[in-house]
Amino acid sequence: MPETRAAEGAGGATGLDRRAFMSRLSSFGLAATVFPDALWALAKEKGNVTKEVIAQAEQVAGLTFTDPQREMMVKGLNSLEEDFAKIRAVPLPNSVPPALRFVPLLPGARPPEGADAFALGPQTVPAVGDDLEALAFLPATALGLLIGERKVTSTALTKMYLARLKRYDPILHCVITFTEERALAQAAKADEEIAAGHSRGPLHGVPWGVKDLFAVKGYRTTWGAGPYKDQVIDEDAAVVQRLDAAGAVLVAKLSCGALAMGDVWFGGKTRNPWDPEEGSSGSSAGSAAATAAGLVGFAIGTETLGSIVSPSNRCGCTGLRPTFGRVPRTGAMALSWSMDKAGPIARSVEDCAAVFAAIQGPDGQDGTVVAAPFRWDPGLDVRTLRVGYVKSLFAEKTEEDPDAEKKEEDKEWPVFDRAVLDVLRGQGVELVPVELPDLPADSMALLLSCEAAAAFDHLTRSGRDALLTAQGPDDWPNIFRQAQLIPAVEYIQANRARTVLMEAMAKLMGTVDAYLCPSFGGQDLTITNLTGHPCVVVPDGFRASGTPTSISFIGKLYGEGELLALARAYQEATTWHLRKPPLKA
């Protein structure tokens, strides 16, 4: 999410001697274990921490101390309240990350080295008629080719997409802010440069949209949330800067579920172009809906735990969730510093490759981003790749299966997923069975809750979380409050378990270059978001209701080149991605 890293505030020496300092550290560790933050309210109500308060805290932590042990703890715990207050007084805007960083590589492993390599595959220049809207659903790379060949101007395409956005937004609720003035100026500049023989690459002049987690100078950056609906961050996010440099034309800031959850934001619910009666899923809700509806050439989304995969699945888009630490999040809202990722949502795999080539690589500000080459070869012979599939998740369903009672429409999914295997085998790809690590990944997702609660601690403490639209038990306000009661030791233990999970995934990925998995199969989505592995999601069929389904391709860390090539080979052999939603204004 999902970041300018302009740290504010300062710390100072405590003046404590070594023994007092170590005593306080010891007390702090104990307090973090048995005294979840919300229970300090009880202590405050009683005037200070007492043995009785500690006994109540023990029940939450699942621990039992003796009365003398509680007596010994009282003084140190009371002194901590002052420390907490001093730390909370330090300004900590959302852009300030923790001093600890997640690295998806295990000790001894290194990212690949070398230079980037990118070239589009063979292209055919599409025909251009009198109706520019006939071009609305073309891949971004095809649009770029038309602009580069001067068959159409960027200005004309930009006006066409702006008109479509304004026409369909009342149905889809996918736009938070139009960037029309900026877009028309960028389009005019692109036309001038191209007329002068200066090309910036395959995205030059192509209109696009950005999830409204990313800052754009001069425009609101609302994070989809009521408390921030008037927020203006006076900078361009790194991703925006890079697409500006590539000559792409930003037409709108697109909706996202409030604080990167779901498809509900302060302006309503973003809708699925294939069925406006249902939501588009999220949290990259507007990015997927606008792309699927032919309202932008491509869009940028973010993913922490499914926010590219899920709306791409719902809306029938092609999405790339890159390896963690591939794309700088500078200037984007932070939700989980160890899990947020940014990537493209588009109409084809090659579009994703072109956008990824433009936005990946270190920016000198997001410390998680490493230098690793992206080599795109659309002609790669995928028969040379070792490709796995999660066998148990492609198995035939039986009447004894606990899923057998699912509604009939949901039973269609496995049929589409198994058909993907047949397509790849027909292309000469040898598929080998694999299984996912048998570890409690879903339980480790408490890491996300803890980090998100820290990122928005000020919202919880101020009571302004009441301004968020969604207020149910599974929505952010309640999740943030619950996370205040997760002991620090449990957060650290979950991170240690995450290391074991990374080791298990490294073992699996040592046997294949990539593997296939139903997009919501087992714990795959949680596992790969925790371990930082890249994913390409593509449509693989349509239900009887007319709504799309998808398959996910998972690759090696920093293996986006091979992963995208494999997904492209499948996509080129099918037509699912070419369908258009029957949307009517």
Cα dihedral sign, 496-498-502-507: positive
- 283: preceding bond cis by omega (within 30 degrees): yes
What integer pLDDT is reported at residue 412 of this predicted model? 67
Characterize the bridge pairing of strands 535-542 and 431-434: unpaired
Distance CA(518)–CA(538), nearest Å, equals 11
CA 109 to chain centre: 24
**Side-chain-facing half-sphere of 154: CA atoms under 13 Å:** 30
Is 529:305 a contact under the CB 8 Å cutoff? yes
- Tokens representing 392? 């148990």
Amino acid residing at 1? M
What one-character DSSP code corresponds to residue 282? S
Q: In angstroms, what is the C-alpha Rg of the chain?
A: 25
What integer pLDDT is reported at residue 82 of this predicted model? 80
Indicate which residues carry an active-site annotation: 211, 283, 307
Question: What does the pLDDT profile of the chain (585 residues) look like in tens digits?
Answer: 433 222 222 233 333 343 333 333 333 333 344 445 445 555 656 568 888 888 887 877 778 989 998 998 888 888 877 878 888 899 999 999 999 999 999 999 999 999 999 999 888 888 899 899 999 999 999 999 999 999 999 999 999 999 999 999 999 999 999 999 999 999 999 999 999 999 999 999 999 999 999 999 999 999 999 999 999 999 999 999 999 999 999 999 999 999 999 999 999 999 999 999 999 999 999 999 999 999 999 999 999 999 999 999 999 999 999 999 999 999 999 999 999 999 999 999 999 999 999 999 999 999 999 999 999 999 899 999 999 999 999 976 544 444 544 554 555 668 999 999 999 999 999 999 999 999 999 999 999 999 999 999 999 999 999 999 999 999 999 999 988 878 898 999 999 999 999 999 999 999 999 999 999 999 999 999 999 999 999 999 999 999 999 999 999 999 999 999 999 999 999 999 999 999 987
CB atoms within 10 A of CB 108: 5
Pick 136-378's CATH classification: 3.30.465.10, 1.10.150.130, 3.90.1300.10, 1.10.10.10. Answer: 3.90.1300.10
The domain locations on the chain are 18-88, 136-378, 444-492
Using alpha carbons, list the distances in angstroms from residue 463 to 305, 333, 466, 569.
Answer: 26, 20, 6, 51
Residue 295: which of 572, 1, 581 has the closest Cα? 581
Q: What residue has token string 């060949």?
A: 149
Distance CA(367)–CA(228), nearest Å, equals 26
Distance CA(219)–CA(187), nearest Å, equals 18
Beta strand residue intervals within 347-406, DSSP E: 375-376, 387-390
Is 305:339 a contact under the CB 8 Å cutoff? yes
- Tokens representing 448? 């996300």
- Tokens representing 409? 């429409």
Q: 451-455: list long-range contacts, CB under 8 Å, 24+ apart.
A: 451/335, 451/336, 451/337, 451/338, 451/339, 452/259, 452/335, 452/336, 452/476, 452/479, 452/480, 452/483, 453/479, 453/480, 453/481, 453/483, 453/484, 454/98, 455/94, 455/334, 455/335, 455/336, 455/337
Is 263:311 a contact under the CB 8 Å cutoff? yes
Distance CA(293)–CA(168), nearest Å, equals 8
Three-state DSSP class for 577?
A: helix
